[in-house]
Structure 1
Amino acid sequence: MRTRKLATLLAGAALAVSTTLVVGAAPASAAGPCGSSYSRVGVYPISRGDGTRTGTLEVYYSSSARKNCALTYGYGPYANTRSWKRVTISRGDGSGEQTNAGEFTYYAGPVYVSAPGQCIDVAGTVPAWVTRELDNVHCG
Protein backbone atom coordinates (compact mmCIF):
# COMPACT_ATOMS: atom_id res chain seq x y z
CA MET A 1 0.00 0.00 0.00
CA ARG A 2 2.81 2.39 0.89
CA THR A 3 4.50 1.71 -2.49
CA ARG A 4 1.27 2.55 -4.36
CA LYS A 5 0.91 5.90 -2.52
CA LEU A 6 4.55 6.76 -3.26
CA ALA A 7 4.07 5.88 -6.94
CA THR A 8 0.91 7.99 -7.13
CA LEU A 9 2.66 10.92 -5.43
CA LEU A 10 5.65 10.70 -7.80
CA ALA A 11 3.41 10.48 -10.86
CA GLY A 12 1.48 13.55 -9.71
CA ALA A 13 4.70 15.50 -9.16
CA ALA A 14 6.00 14.53 -12.60
CA LEU A 15 2.74 15.66 -14.20
CA ALA A 16 2.90 19.01 -12.37
CA VAL A 17 6.49 19.62 -13.50
CA SER A 18 5.81 18.70 -17.15
CA THR A 19 2.69 20.89 -17.22
CA THR A 20 4.67 23.82 -15.83
CA LEU A 21 7.37 23.34 -18.47
CA VAL A 22 4.85 23.25 -21.32
CA VAL A 23 2.88 26.24 -20.05
CA GLY A 24 6.08 28.28 -19.55
CA ALA A 25 7.46 27.51 -23.01
CA ALA A 26 7.45 30.27 -25.66
CA PRO A 27 5.15 29.71 -28.63
CA ALA A 28 6.79 28.47 -31.83
CA SER A 29 5.66 31.61 -33.66
CA ALA A 30 7.02 34.13 -31.14
CA ALA A 31 7.40 37.63 -32.53
CA GLY A 32 10.88 38.95 -33.25
CA PRO A 33 12.05 42.43 -32.28
CA CYS A 34 10.21 44.08 -35.20
CA GLY A 35 7.03 42.01 -35.05
CA SER A 36 5.74 38.58 -35.97
CA SER A 37 5.69 39.10 -39.76
CA TYR A 38 9.32 40.28 -40.01
CA SER A 39 12.25 38.11 -41.13
CA ARG A 40 15.89 39.04 -40.70
CA VAL A 41 17.52 39.89 -44.04
CA GLY A 42 20.86 41.31 -42.93
CA VAL A 43 23.32 41.25 -40.02
CA TYR A 44 26.27 43.64 -40.08
CA PRO A 45 29.05 44.01 -37.51
CA ILE A 46 29.84 47.49 -36.21
CA SER A 47 33.60 47.75 -35.66
CA ARG A 48 36.28 50.27 -34.78
CA GLY A 49 39.01 51.07 -37.28
CA ASP A 50 41.26 48.44 -35.67
CA GLY A 51 38.61 45.75 -36.26
CA THR A 52 37.36 45.54 -32.66
CA ARG A 53 33.65 44.80 -32.83
CA THR A 54 31.39 47.04 -30.72
CA GLY A 55 27.91 46.28 -32.04
CA THR A 56 25.60 44.67 -34.55
CA LEU A 57 23.21 46.29 -37.04
CA GLU A 58 20.27 44.03 -37.98
CA VAL A 59 17.81 44.60 -40.84
CA TYR A 60 14.40 42.90 -41.13
CA TYR A 61 11.69 42.87 -43.80
CA SER A 62 7.97 42.08 -43.77
CA SER A 63 6.39 41.25 -47.11
CA SER A 64 2.89 41.63 -45.60
CA ALA A 65 3.61 45.06 -44.07
CA ARG A 66 5.91 45.99 -46.99
CA LYS A 67 8.32 47.64 -44.56
CA ASN A 68 11.93 47.30 -43.49
CA CYS A 69 12.95 47.48 -39.85
CA ALA A 70 16.36 47.99 -38.23
CA LEU A 71 17.94 47.64 -34.76
CA THR A 72 21.40 48.18 -33.30
CA TYR A 73 22.71 45.89 -30.52
CA GLY A 74 25.80 46.28 -28.40
CA TYR A 75 28.56 43.67 -28.61
CA GLY A 76 31.31 42.68 -26.16
CA PRO A 77 31.59 45.30 -23.41
CA TYR A 78 28.59 47.19 -24.89
CA ALA A 79 26.22 44.18 -24.85
CA ASN A 80 23.57 44.21 -22.12
CA THR A 81 25.09 47.35 -20.59
CA ARG A 82 23.85 50.90 -20.70
CA SER A 83 25.73 52.63 -23.50
CA TRP A 84 25.09 54.94 -26.44
CA LYS A 85 23.31 53.15 -29.26
CA ARG A 86 21.74 54.59 -32.42
CA VAL A 87 19.93 53.17 -35.42
CA THR A 88 18.72 55.03 -38.52
CA ILE A 89 16.76 53.80 -41.53
CA SER A 90 15.50 55.63 -44.63
CA ARG A 91 14.69 55.12 -48.28
CA GLY A 92 17.73 55.14 -50.55
CA ASP A 93 16.94 58.74 -51.56
CA GLY A 94 17.11 59.80 -47.88
CA SER A 95 13.37 60.31 -47.44
CA GLY A 96 11.30 58.74 -44.68
CA GLU A 97 14.21 58.75 -42.22
CA GLN A 98 13.55 57.28 -38.76
CA THR A 99 16.13 57.34 -35.93
CA ASN A 100 16.23 55.98 -32.39
CA ALA A 101 19.22 56.99 -30.27
CA GLY A 102 20.19 57.23 -26.63
CA GLU A 103 21.61 55.38 -23.66
CA PHE A 104 20.10 51.89 -24.00
CA THR A 105 20.90 48.63 -22.24
CA TYR A 106 19.94 46.18 -25.00
CA TYR A 107 19.31 47.87 -28.35
CA ALA A 108 18.31 50.99 -30.24
CA GLY A 109 15.18 50.64 -32.33
CA PRO A 110 13.21 49.25 -33.88
CA VAL A 111 12.79 51.86 -36.59
CA TYR A 112 10.74 51.29 -39.75
CA VAL A 113 10.52 52.55 -43.32
CA SER A 114 8.27 51.64 -46.23
CA ALA A 115 10.30 51.55 -49.43
CA PRO A 116 8.50 49.41 -52.04
CA GLY A 117 10.57 49.10 -55.21
CA GLN A 118 13.45 51.07 -53.67
CA CYS A 119 16.69 50.50 -51.82
CA ILE A 120 17.19 51.54 -48.21
CA ASP A 121 19.96 53.21 -46.22
CA VAL A 122 20.69 51.98 -42.68
CA ALA A 123 23.21 52.98 -40.03
CA GLY A 124 24.06 51.78 -36.55
CA THR A 125 26.28 53.34 -33.88
CA VAL A 126 27.74 51.67 -30.74
CA PRO A 127 29.20 53.51 -28.79
CA ALA A 128 28.83 57.17 -29.76
CA TRP A 129 31.88 57.30 -32.03
CA VAL A 130 31.72 53.95 -33.92
CA THR A 131 29.27 53.83 -36.85
CA ARG A 132 28.43 51.39 -39.65
CA GLU A 133 26.57 52.87 -42.62
CA LEU A 134 25.09 50.96 -45.54
CA ASP A 135 23.68 52.88 -48.51
CA ASN A 136 21.33 51.56 -51.18
CA VAL A 137 20.97 48.02 -49.77
CA HIS A 138 18.10 45.52 -49.61
CA CYS A 139 16.57 46.82 -52.82
CA GLY A 140 13.13 45.59 -53.62
Structure 2
Amino acid sequence: MRTRKLAIFLTGAAMAASTTMVASAAPAAAAGPCGSSYTRVGVYPIKRGDGTRTGTLEVHYSSSAGKNCALTYGYGAYANTPSWKSVVISRGDGSGEDSNSGTFTYYAGPVYVSAPGQCIDVQGTVPDWVTVKLNNVHCG
Protein backbone atom coordinates (compact mmCIF):
# COMPACT_ATOMS: atom_id res chain seq x y z
CA MET A 1 0.00 0.00 0.00
CA ARG A 2 2.85 2.34 0.86
CA THR A 3 4.46 1.75 -2.55
CA ARG A 4 1.20 2.56 -4.34
CA LYS A 5 0.83 5.89 -2.45
CA LEU A 6 4.41 6.79 -3.33
CA ALA A 7 3.81 5.96 -7.00
CA ILE A 8 0.66 8.11 -7.07
CA PHE A 9 2.50 10.97 -5.37
CA LEU A 10 5.43 10.79 -7.80
CA THR A 11 3.12 10.65 -10.83
CA GLY A 12 1.25 13.73 -9.59
CA ALA A 13 4.48 15.60 -8.92
CA ALA A 14 5.80 14.77 -12.39
CA MET A 15 2.58 15.96 -14.02
CA ALA A 16 2.64 19.21 -12.04
CA ALA A 17 6.26 19.84 -13.00
CA SER A 18 5.64 19.18 -16.69
CA THR A 19 2.56 21.43 -16.69
CA THR A 20 4.56 24.22 -15.09
CA MET A 21 7.33 23.86 -17.65
CA VAL A 22 4.89 23.97 -20.58
CA ALA A 23 2.98 26.95 -19.18
CA SER A 24 6.11 29.02 -18.67
CA ALA A 25 7.62 28.31 -22.11
CA ALA A 26 7.40 31.28 -24.48
CA PRO A 27 7.92 31.35 -28.23
CA ALA A 28 11.29 32.66 -29.39
CA ALA A 29 9.72 35.38 -31.57
CA ALA A 30 6.21 36.30 -30.47
CA ALA A 31 3.99 37.56 -33.27
CA GLY A 32 2.08 40.80 -32.80
CA PRO A 33 -1.55 41.26 -33.81
CA CYS A 34 -0.60 41.85 -37.47
CA GLY A 35 2.01 39.07 -37.71
CA SER A 36 5.61 38.44 -36.79
CA SER A 37 7.17 40.56 -39.57
CA TYR A 38 5.23 43.74 -38.71
CA THR A 39 6.66 46.73 -36.84
CA ARG A 40 4.53 49.48 -35.30
CA VAL A 41 5.08 52.73 -37.21
CA GLY A 42 2.34 54.96 -35.79
CA VAL A 43 0.18 55.36 -32.69
CA TYR A 44 -2.67 57.89 -32.71
CA PRO A 45 -5.05 58.74 -29.85
CA ILE A 46 -8.78 58.76 -30.54
CA LYS A 47 -10.34 61.63 -28.57
CA ARG A 48 -13.73 63.25 -28.07
CA GLY A 49 -14.08 66.97 -28.70
CA ASP A 50 -13.48 67.67 -24.99
CA GLY A 51 -10.14 65.82 -25.16
CA THR A 52 -11.30 62.63 -23.42
CA ARG A 53 -9.43 59.72 -24.94
CA THR A 54 -11.57 56.73 -25.96
CA GLY A 55 -9.18 54.67 -28.04
CA THR A 56 -5.95 54.22 -29.95
CA LEU A 57 -5.33 53.68 -33.66
CA GLU A 58 -2.13 51.75 -34.42
CA VAL A 59 -0.44 51.38 -37.81
CA HIS A 60 2.11 48.64 -38.51
CA TYR A 61 4.29 47.91 -41.55
CA SER A 62 6.05 44.83 -42.90
CA SER A 63 8.80 45.39 -45.46
CA SER A 64 8.89 41.65 -46.22
CA ALA A 65 5.13 41.49 -46.87
CA GLY A 66 5.04 44.98 -48.41
CA LYS A 67 1.84 45.78 -46.50
CA ASN A 68 0.50 48.15 -43.89
CA CYS A 69 -1.77 46.90 -41.10
CA ALA A 70 -4.04 48.83 -38.73
CA LEU A 71 -5.93 48.12 -35.48
CA THR A 72 -8.14 50.16 -33.16
CA TYR A 73 -7.97 49.54 -29.40
CA GLY A 74 -10.30 50.84 -26.70
CA TYR A 75 -8.88 53.11 -24.00
CA GLY A 76 -10.06 53.90 -20.45
CA ALA A 77 -13.67 52.80 -20.02
CA TYR A 78 -13.55 51.16 -23.48
CA ALA A 79 -10.43 49.05 -22.91
CA ASN A 80 -10.84 45.29 -22.41
CA THR A 81 -14.61 45.56 -22.44
CA PRO A 82 -17.13 44.90 -25.20
CA SER A 83 -17.67 48.17 -27.05
CA TRP A 84 -18.00 49.46 -30.62
CA LYS A 85 -14.65 49.56 -32.37
CA SER A 86 -13.89 50.15 -36.04
CA VAL A 87 -10.79 50.40 -38.24
CA VAL A 88 -10.41 51.23 -41.94
CA ILE A 89 -7.27 51.27 -44.11
CA SER A 90 -6.78 52.03 -47.82
CA ARG A 91 -4.30 53.44 -50.28
CA GLY A 92 -4.16 57.24 -50.36
CA ASP A 93 -6.33 57.24 -53.49
CA GLY A 94 -9.05 55.29 -51.64
CA SER A 95 -8.46 51.98 -53.43
CA GLY A 96 -7.75 48.65 -51.75
CA GLU A 97 -9.93 49.44 -48.72
CA ASP A 98 -10.12 46.90 -45.89
CA SER A 99 -12.25 47.42 -42.78
CA ASN A 100 -13.42 45.71 -39.62
CA SER A 101 -16.06 46.95 -37.18
CA GLY A 102 -18.37 45.68 -34.49
CA THR A 103 -18.57 45.11 -30.76
CA PHE A 104 -15.14 43.83 -29.73
CA THR A 105 -13.54 43.35 -26.32
CA TYR A 106 -9.93 44.12 -27.27
CA TYR A 107 -9.55 45.59 -30.76
CA ALA A 108 -10.96 45.96 -34.26
CA GLY A 109 -8.74 44.57 -37.00
CA PRO A 110 -6.22 43.75 -38.08
CA VAL A 111 -6.88 45.14 -41.57
CA TYR A 112 -4.30 45.26 -44.36
CA VAL A 113 -3.42 47.16 -47.52
CA SER A 114 -0.57 46.84 -49.99
CA ALA A 115 0.56 50.32 -51.03
CA PRO A 116 4.12 50.19 -52.41
CA GLY A 117 5.41 53.69 -53.13
CA GLN A 118 2.11 55.24 -52.00
CA CYS A 119 0.59 56.91 -48.97
CA ILE A 120 -2.22 55.32 -46.97
CA ASP A 121 -5.42 56.54 -45.32
CA VAL A 122 -6.36 55.10 -41.92
CA GLN A 123 -9.33 55.65 -39.63
CA GLY A 124 -10.15 54.41 -36.14
CA THR A 125 -13.42 54.74 -34.24
CA VAL A 126 -14.20 53.88 -30.64
CA PRO A 127 -17.80 54.39 -29.41
CA ASP A 128 -20.11 57.30 -29.90
CA TRP A 129 -18.67 57.84 -33.37
CA VAL A 130 -15.48 59.28 -31.94
CA THR A 131 -13.10 59.01 -34.88
CA VAL A 132 -9.55 59.85 -35.87
CA LYS A 133 -8.89 59.91 -39.61
CA LEU A 134 -5.48 60.36 -41.19
CA ASN A 135 -5.10 60.91 -44.92
CA ASN A 136 -1.96 60.41 -46.98
CA VAL A 137 0.28 59.19 -44.15
CA HIS A 138 3.08 56.61 -43.94
CA CYS A 139 4.11 57.26 -47.52
CA GLY A 140 6.69 55.07 -49.09
Q: TM-score, normalised to structure 1's length?
A: 0.84
| Cα distance change on mapping 1:102 and 1:128 into 2, 3 Å | farther
- Pairwise CA distance, 1:95: 0.3
**Contact residue 85 and residue 128 of structure 1 kept, 8 A:** no
The runs of 5 or more residues in structure 1 that have no matched partner are 1-12
Look up the match of 1:123.
123
Q: Is the aligned partner of 1:91 residue 2:91? A: yes
Indicate how the Cα distance of structure 1 residues 95 and 77 shifts in structure 2: closer, same or farther if over 3 A, else same: same
- Which one-letter code corresponds to 2:132 in the other structure? R
CA distance in 2, matches of 1:77, 1:23: 31
2:61 aligns with 61
Q: For residues 71-120 of structure 1, what are the alpha-carbon distances to aligned partners after superposition, in whole Å with 9 as ceiling and x for unaligned?
A: 00000000011000000000000000011000101000000000000000
Query: 1:86, 1:23 → 2: CA distance?
Result: 33
Greater alpha carbon shift after TM alignment, 124-133 vs 107-116:
124-133
Deviation at 1:20, TM superposition (A): 3.0
How large is the Cα RMSD of the aligned pairs?
1.7
Q: CA deviation at 1:22?
A: 7.1
Q: CA deviation at 1:48?
A: 0.3
Q: Where do 5+ consecutive residues of structure 2 fail to align?
A: 1-12
TM-score by length of 2: 0.84
